[in-house]
Amino acid sequence: MSAIAFEAAPAFREESLVLTGRRSGAVWLVRGHRAVRGEASQVEADWRWALEREERRGDVLGFFHTHPPEAGTGPSARDVRTMQAWCGALGKPLLCVIACGEETRSTIFQSDEHAGRSLPITECFGRNVWVIVDTNETEEQP
């Protein structure tokens, strides 16, 4: 019954994923795991899974979440605080990938004090797979 009601009157709810993968210089290959759906204005990642994964495989690269329409793809003040805390907890740079409507943007946080830097290229390949390129990291400029 509730599923039918949801279909009839879809309400936006934020969604989050833990991103794992590998980085090769300027290119990040990431895959999303452990989808969690939250409320319209907030969603918590599966932080327990993320910590265990990092402990076991060391390949957590960041987090993905959606924003409601018109909120844009830039990290909110709360997102910035959350990402800084994760950088401190995992002790490495992390990606914050945000989707809003058709647009997706990645922001890299270098440390628990870094304010975040937007990366120029985020391409989605199939379900929950992204290639992210940091052109500032490349040797050759176009």
Contact code string over 20-59 relative to Zn ion, x by CB under 5 A? ----------------------------------------
Taking alpha carbons only, the member of 127, 130, 68, 69 closest to residue 97 is: 130
Taking alpha carbons only, the member of 3, 98, 94 closest to residue 43 is: 98
Q: Are 66 and 100 in contact (CB under 8 A)?
A: yes
Asked if 110 touches Zn ion (CB under 5 A), the answer is: no
Asked if 104 touches Zn ion (CB under 5 A), the answer is: no
# residues contacting Zn ion (CB under 5 A):
2
Of 72-80, 85-93, 112-120, 130-138, which segment contacts Zn ion by CB under 5 A? 72-80
Residues with Cβ within 8 Å of residue 13, at least 6 apart in sequence: 37, 38, 39, 40, 43
Asked if 76 touches Zn ion (CB under 5 A), the answer is: yes
Asked if 118 touches Zn ion (CB under 5 A), the answer is: no
Asked if 79 touches Zn ion (CB under 5 A), the answer is: yes
Q: Could you count the other beta carbons within 10 Å of the beta carbon of residue 42?
A: 14
Provide the minimum distance between the beta carbon of 106 and Zn ion in the complex, in angstroms, as a whole number. 13
